[in-house]
Amino acid sequence: MDSERLTHADEAGEARMVDVGGKAVTARRALAQARVRMAPATFVLVRDGRTAKGDALAVARLAGIQGAKRTADLIPLCHPLGLDHVDVRCELEAPDAVRIIAETRVTARTGVEMEALTAAAVAALTLYDMVKGVDRTASIEGLHLLEKDGGKSGSWRRPGVGESAS
């Protein structure tokens, strides 16, 4: 662990928003992923843009971007950030999965890990919503941070991830 104490709890263990006023403004970046697994026949519908609700991948990408922008509205102790960049990509993994990769960037006093994770999660939830009518076995798995850069703690890469997953 990076610290012996959780940053969002005070000495009495009560939840608190971290004071970032004294931190340096630096360029920060985060990359997160999630995977949506589905039946091979559903994968073909998604790949070919033929779901009943339309182009599932396009809708998922837009939802992920919107999710990143609304992170502070969803996660109570997150600082609202004016994001510089959000990118959500959907990689087809035949025969039965879509890997969602979300990248967020900001120049600020606090990191953008939660925004990247929220983007990946919301995109995955949206893709699930797009296919649930034809595939009740669809599932979301593997939501996690892949890497982060910037701030006092510098760079971090998930073990087993290459030099850059972007």
- Please, what are the averages of pLDDT over each run of 10 residues along the chain (166 residues)? 58 74 90 98 97 95 98 94 97 98 96 97 98 97 97 91 60
Question: Given 19, 55, 129, 135, which residue is catalytic?
Answer: 129
Separation between Cα atoms, residue 131 and residue 136, nearest integer Å:
8
pLDDT at 20: 79
The structure's pTM equals 0.89
Fold of 26-150: Alpha-Beta Plaits (3.30.70)
**The CA-based dihedral angle spanning residues 106, 110, 125, 45, taken in that order and rounded to the nearest 10 degrees:** 30
Domain assignments of the chain as residue spans, ordered by start: 26-150
pLDDT at 15: 74
Half-sphere exposure in the Cβ direction for 156 (13 Å, CA):
18
* 129: annotated active-site residue: yes
pLDDT at 23: 83
Q: Transcribe the chain into DSSP letters.
A: ---SS-TTB-TTS-B-----TTSPPEEEEEEEEEEEE--HHHHHHHHTT-BTTB-HHHHHHHHHHHHHHTHHHHSTTPPP---SEEEEEEEEETTTEEEEEEEEEEEESS--HHHHHHHHHHHHHHHHHHHTTT-TT-EEEEEEEEEEE-STT--EE-TT--S---
